[in-house]
Structure 1
Amino acid sequence: MTKLHMILDGEIFDLTEMFRLRIVKFERQSPQIINNYITNSGSDGGEDAGSTFDKFNYSITCKFTTDDSIDYHLKVNELFSFIYQRKSYSIHIEREPGKMFEVHPVPIDVSRIAEGLADIVLVFEVFNGFGRSFTTTLTPLTFESDIWQFAQGLELADYEYTHNSNRFNIFNASDSQIDPRVNDLEIIIKGQSEGEINIHNRTNGDRFIYYPALRMIDTLTLNKGARINGMKCGRDTNFGVIRLEEGINEFEIFNASMLEVSFDFPFIYK
C-alpha cells in the first residue's frame, strides 16, 4: 500500500496508517511559470526580464475507512486537526521515495459514501514552487538507501561532496540553479591560509574571498551569509555568493592548503 508521510519539526508521521487512508491516486499541477517583461512606452512588445515559478497544488485522492458512524466523525475531526497546521510542513509519497514537498493545506473535499467510508481528496499548496530531495548530498548517493530514486537527475557516477584538494567538481542533480539566498546550501571550509582564501566556481564565475588568515582550528561556513567559527564575518569578505548551476560545477580554491571542503544541500525539482 502506498504511504503518505507528513514531516513536521523533523518527525515523520504515516498519515495512511494513522487515519486508515488508502491512496487511490496522487497528482500534481505542472510548474506554474511566471514570465516577466519590461515594457517601454512607444516600443513594441517587451524586454525579457526572466521567469519565476509560482506555487502549485499537489492532490492525493484517498479512501477513508472507520469502524462506524461515531468513529467516522471522530476520525474526520482528528484528520482535520492534524493536517491543518499554522506552519508549513512537508509531504512525502512512498511512490516518489526521493522527493518531498513543503506545503500548506488548502480546503479539502470529503464525500461520505457509507457509515464508515468516505472519499477524501487532500490538497496541498507547494508554496515555494518546487520539490526537494528527501535528504542532502552528505547522505550517500545510492539507490539501495531507499531515499534516492530514478528520475532525480542522478547519474551513475561517483560524485563526492567532501574534498581535500584545491580543485574539484560538485555535481548538482537539480533541474534548477541552487542559490543560497533562496535555497538550502551550506559550504563548510577548513584549512590553512595566510589570507585572502579565494573560492571560485569556474562554471559560472562566482567568487567568494575571506580576507583574514585561516587557522587549522577555524571553520568558515557559507550559506545565506558567511560565518567564522559561528560568528558573522561578512565585513571580512567580498560579500560574494557561491551558486551552483545544473550539472557539474568546477571549483578552484586559491591561497589555502590542508583543505577539507564539504557541500551540503538538497536537490530541487520544478
Structure 2
Amino acid sequence: MSKDTRSTTKGIKNGVNSVTCCFCDYVPPAESVPKDILPAMNNCRNLRYICDGCLRSFDGLKTLTKPILDKNDEIELEIKKISEHTTALCKDFCELKQLVVANGDRLNQINSVDNTLDKSFDNFKQQMNESWTGIVKQGIDAVKNDVKVVQRTLEVVNTIKERENNVIIFNLIESNRKDNDSVSAILRSLTDNSIKDDDILRVTRQGRKIDDSKTPRPVIVKFASFVIKNRVMRSISKIKSLEGEFNKIKISHDLTRDQRVELRELIAEAKTKEANDGHF
C-alpha cells in the first residue's frame, strides 16, 4: 500500500477478515485490504504483511548499512591486492634464490682457480643478502600495516553491530529506585504498554558513580531486537507528556565515537547550508 492508513488500535488478533503486520502487530483498517487476498494471506504461511511504518524503517536501515557494505567490498579488494602482491613477491624470491645459488656454484668453481675471485664473490653475496633483507622487510611491514587497517575496520563493524539494538537514556535521576523499574515504567508509558520485561535484555549505568555529581550517569538499555528498539525510538516524541522527573529525560541511539563525530559534522554542515540557502 502506498498510503499509511495506520490505526491506533492495539492487540487485535489476525483473523479471517483482517491482517497484522508481522513486525509491529499493527492492524490496518479492513477497508484498506482487498478482501479477495485475505483468504490467501491467512492460509498461506509464506505470505506476510508489513505496514508502511516498518517499511520506512527498513529503508532507513538500508541507508545506514550501505556505507558498511561498501567498505567491506573495499576491504575485500585490498585483501585481494595484498594476496596478489605476496604471491608475486614469493615468485621473485624463488627466482632470485635460484639465481644466487647458480651464481654461487659458478663462483665456487672460479674460487678453486683464483682466491681473489672467491673474496669478490663473498662480498657480492653479502651485499645481495643485505639488499634482499631490506626488500623483504619493507614488504612485510606493508602487509602488517594493511592487516592492521583491516582488523580496525572489522572491529568498527562489530561494535556497530553490537550497539544496533541499544538506546541511551540521559538525565534519568539516580535514586533508591532500581534503574530497571524506572526504565520499564518509562518504556511502557511511551509505547502504550507494548514493551514487555522479556524485550529488555540489560539496563546498565555508564561510568563510575561520583557522590557529589549533580549530573546523572547515562543509562544504556539493550533490547531483544531492532524492531523493539525502533518502536521505542518512534515514541520519543511522547517524553514531554511523562509524569514527574521522567519528562526531562532524553533518548538517543547508542553510537560509537566515530559515528558521533560524523553526526556532529553532518549537523554542522546542514546548519551552514540552512544559513546560506534558508533551508536544508
Shorter chain as normaliser: what TM range?
under 0.3
Task: Indicate the structure with greater helix content.
Answer: 2
Whose radius of gyration is greater, 1 or 2? 2
What TM-score, normalized by structure 1, do the two folds share? 0.23
What TM-score, normalized by structure 2, do the two folds share? 0.22
Task: Indicate the structure with greater strand content.
Answer: 1
**Higher-RCO chain (CA-CA 8 Å, sequence separation at least 6):** 1
